[in-house]
Amino acid sequence: MEHNFYLSLLLLFISLVSLSLFFLFYKHKSPWNLPPGKMGYPVIGESLEFLSTGWKGHPEKFIFDRMIKYSSELFKTSILGQPTVVCCGAACNKFLFSNENKLVTVWWPESVIKIFPTSLQTNFKEESLKMRKLIPQFLKPEALQRYVGIMDSIAQKHFASLWENKTEVTVYPLAKRYTFLLACRLFMSVEDENHVAKFSDPFHLLAAGIISLPIDLPGTPFNKAIKASNFIKKELLKIIRQRKMDLAKGVASATQDILSHMLLTCNENGEFMSELDIADKILGLLIGGHDTASVACTFIVKYLADLPHIYDTVFQEQMEIAKSKSQGELLNWDDLKKMRYSWNVACEVMRVAPPLQGGFREAITDFMFNGFSIPKGWKLYWSANSTHKNPECFPMPEKFDPTRFEGNGPPPYTYVPFDGGPRMCPGKEYARLEILVFMHNLVKRFKWEKLIPDEEIVVDPFPIPAKDLPIRLYPHDA
Ligand code: HEM
């Protein structure tokens, strides 16, 4: 009897606990019908899988494995310390890109905010808005037309000093040097190679730490990136102070570059930007425009080496333009308009190897999407590979085929190396110019072969050949 009493008590206790757990679970779960997926381990979630598929050269594997397992459109995960919904495919891209500031807003991982702490007491969203207001002055068509000749003369000097008279070169560091030199010249009128070299190396450390686990311990990529960012900012501040003096003395012009413009433009309240704020903005532009375009240039060299028939067609197109120029005449806007096939090749390169793998947004309100709930504060991630390497968007995605970009090109929201909505890269046209000028100067001088035929690709966070793409050069005039 006593035994039965205790058994009943135990059963009652178990039932109560189970009921409480059920209600707790039910209460917690009921409002949300979250997308399918797995949140992984506490804190780190699935960050390691997310990052390590990139380190192994297949960032799309993280996405496609889960698209097959859970859903071809939306799945939940936890990356970089955040509960995240990954949006896949053209329809999801369209939804995400068209709901900017309605349902979602820009978000950057903690690592990015710590590496680029803004000097102002505002947030990234405001800073990004300011940047978007400033940029069009410099990246509008009239300004870009002026840049073509400058880009060509810088490219000619670059190839003469670092490629010509060499039998072997390593492409990625040279491509970075080229895009960085252009940015320094066009954004801040810094031309001296030694000056540029001084702060170009820390950029490599910066890039490596941007999308990393935010562990600030000596020697971690994150820690090195923070130090590199501080170093570069100090160098930028020196340049900014010198420019202020030059403007005051009248030896620098108000319209010569983005730096003068930032120093002399005030906001609607009549306030000028502080030196630190300008340093932040220039750093943002340099990082946004430098590694992305150099990655594109590097993969162009790789694919032109792999695919001689494509090289030949690019060569023909570029030589027709080269032959139409008189001795010493620089490339101009009209020449670039004729480089249609070359640009299709560059586009196909950015389809198979998108320099930026995707981007984050944050839900600014609870909302429903495709029948699933997205809670306020959750992050959303769009991935270029989810369409670029998807046979439904690009038939035979593994085939390198520049003709995909002929005529109307790929369907909307499938080709998104530059994003596709209101946050579309403001440097897209500038990037097109620098890439085409690079291709022109390269193919008119050389043919080449890869020194490591099956060189692996590492994505961290930009895709790069693991050994930086060493090649043997065969000059045309040899
Ligand atoms: C091949 C070269 C490039 C690629 C693939 C690329 C790609 C992108 C993408 C995908 C975004 C949007 C990120 C997001 O959705 O969160 C972006 C933003 C941005 N890009 Fe580019 N970019 C390139 C070159 C450039 C250049 C040359 C510049 C500067 C001259 C530049 C400046 C920026 C800036 C400032 C932003 C942030 C805009 C904002 O905050 O709204 N990019 N880029």
Provide mean pLDDT across the span 190-219.
80
Q: Does 128 contact ligand 1 (Cβ within 6 A)? A: yes
**Separation of 347 CA from ligand 1 center, angstroms?**
15
Reported as a single tens digit per residue, the pLDDT across 404-424 is 999 999 999 999 999 988 888
CA distance 431 to 422: 18
Task: Name the more confident of 291 and 12.
Answer: 291
Answer yes or no: is pLDDT of 137 > 80: no
Type of residue found at 313: T
Distances (CA, A) of 88 to 68, 134, 386: 11, 32, 5
Measure the CA dihedral 9/11/17/23, to 10°: -120
Q: How confident is the model at residue 289 (pLDDT cuts 50, 70, 90)?
A: confident
Asked if the 32-475 domain carries CATH number 3.50.50.60, the reply is no
Task: Name the more confident of 296 and 140.
Answer: 296
**Separation of 284 CA from ligand 1 center, angstroms?**
10
Answer yes or no: is pLDDT of 312 > 90: yes
Supply φ then ψ for residue 87, to 5 degrees.
Answer: -100, 125
CA-nearest residue for atom 37, ligand 1, is 425
348 contacts 340 by C-beta, under 8 angstroms: no
CA-nearest residue for atom 36, ligand 1, is 425
CA distance 354 to 13: 58
Answer yes or no: is pLDDT of 146 > 90: no
Apex 43 CA angle, 37 and 44, nearest 5: 70
CA-nearest residue for atom 20, ligand 1, is 425
Task: Please give the pLDDT value at position 14.
Answer: 47
**125-128, Cβ contacts within 8 angstroms, sequence gap of 24 or more:** 127/280, 127/281, 127/284
Instruction: Give me the percent of the chain exceeding a pLDDT of 70.
Output: 89
Q: Does 420 contact ligand 1 (Cβ within 6 A)? A: no
86 contacts 383 by C-beta, under 8 angstroms: yes
Q: Which atom of ligand 1 is nearest to the CA of 128?
A: 40
Answer yes or no: is pLDDT of 466 > 80: yes
Q: How confident is the model at residue 117 (pLDDT cuts 50, 70, 90)?
A: low
Secondary structure class of 217 (helix, strand, coil): coil
Answer yes or no: is pLDDT of 12 > 50: no
Instruction: List the domain boundaries for the chain.
Output: 32-475
Q: How confident is the model at residue 291 (pLDDT cuts 50, 70, 90)?
A: confident
Type of residue found at 156: Q
Query: In 307-375, which ranges are continuous DSSP H helix?
Result: 308-323, 333-337, 340-352
Ranges 1-15, 122-136, 147-161, 440-454: which has the least confidence: 1-15
Reported as a single tens digit per residue, the pLDDT across 81-93 is 899 999 999 999 9
Task: Name the range with the highest mean pLDDT among 143-157, 206-220, 293-307.
Answer: 293-307
Instruction: Give me the percent of the chain exceeding a pLDDT of 90.
Output: 63
CA distance 81 to 47: 8
Residue 92 marked as a ligand binder:
no
Q: Does 133 contact ligand 1 (Cβ within 6 A)? A: no
Q: How confident is the model at residue 272 (pLDDT cuts 50, 70, 90)?
A: confident
Task: Please give the pLDDT value at position 125.
Answer: 64
Nearest to 378 by CA among 33, 28, 126, 78: 78
Pocket residue to mutate for ligand 1, from 413, 425, 433, 436, most atoms within 8 A of Cβ: 425
**Separation of 289 CA from ligand 1 center, angstroms?**
6
Task: Please give the pLDDT value at position 270.
Answer: 79
HEC-encoded secondary structure of 71-102: CCCEEEEEECCEEEEEECHHHHHHHHHHCECC
Average pLDDT, the chain: 88
149 contacts 435 by C-beta, under 8 angstroms: no
CA distance 258 to 278: 10
Q: Which atom of ligand 1 is nearest to the CA of 419?
A: 10
Type of residue found at 454: D
**Separation of 292 CA from ligand 1 center, angstroms?**
8
- 80 CB-side CA count, 13 A: 23
Provide mean pLDDT across the span 178-183.
92
CA-nearest residue for atom 15, ligand 1, is 359
Q: Which atom of ligand 1 is nearest to the CA of 361?
A: 16
Tokens in use for 416?
A: 């998104």
Q: Does 317 contact ligand 1 (Cβ within 6 A)? A: no
Nearest to 227 by CA among 120, 118, 114, 127: 114
Provide mean pLDDT across the span 291-309.
97
Contacting residues for 446 by C-beta, under 8 A, at least 6 apart: 163, 473, 474, 475, 476
The verdict on pTM exceeding 0.85 is: yes
Q: How confident is the model at residue 129 (pLDDT cuts 50, 70, 90)?
A: low
Task: Name the more confident of 242 and 7.
Answer: 242
Tally Cβ neighbours within 10 Å of residue 308. Answer: 11
Q: Tell how many helices (H) and how many strands (E) occur in the chain.
A: 18, 12
Provide mean pLDDT across the span 47-60.
91
Tokens in use for 245?
A: 């003096």
Q: Does 288 contact ligand 1 (Cβ within 6 A)? A: yes
Helix axes 59-69, 47-55, angle to 10 degrees: 130
Answer yes or no: is pLDDT of 27 > 90: no
Task: Name the range with the highest mean pLDDT among 8-22, 185-199, 240-254.
Answer: 240-254
In this structure, the strands spanning 82-87 and 379-383 are: parallel
Answer yes or no: is pLDDT of 427 > 80: yes
Q: Does 292 contact ligand 1 (Cβ within 6 A)? A: yes
Answer yes or no: is pLDDT of 173 > 60: yes
Q: Does 293 contact ligand 1 (Cβ within 6 A)? A: yes
Nearest to 158 by CA among 132, 191, 202: 191
Q: Which atom of ligand 1 is nearest to the CA of 421?
A: 15
Question: Sign (positive/negative) of CA torsion 403, 408, 412, 413?
Answer: positive
Tally Cβ neighbours within 10 Å of residue 39. Answer: 14
Helix axes 428-443, 340-352, angle to 10 degrees: 110
Q: Does 425 contact ligand 1 (Cβ within 6 A)? A: yes
Pocket residue to mutate for ligand 1, from 178, 257, 292, most atoms within 8 A of Cβ: 292
Task: Please give the pLDDT value at position 195.
Answer: 82
Pocket residue to mutate for ligand 1, from 151, 258, 385, 418, most atoms within 8 A of Cβ: 418
Answer yes or no: is pLDDT of 47 > 70: yes
Answer yes or no: is pLDDT of 22 > 50: no
Task: Name the more confident of 347 and 266.
Answer: 347
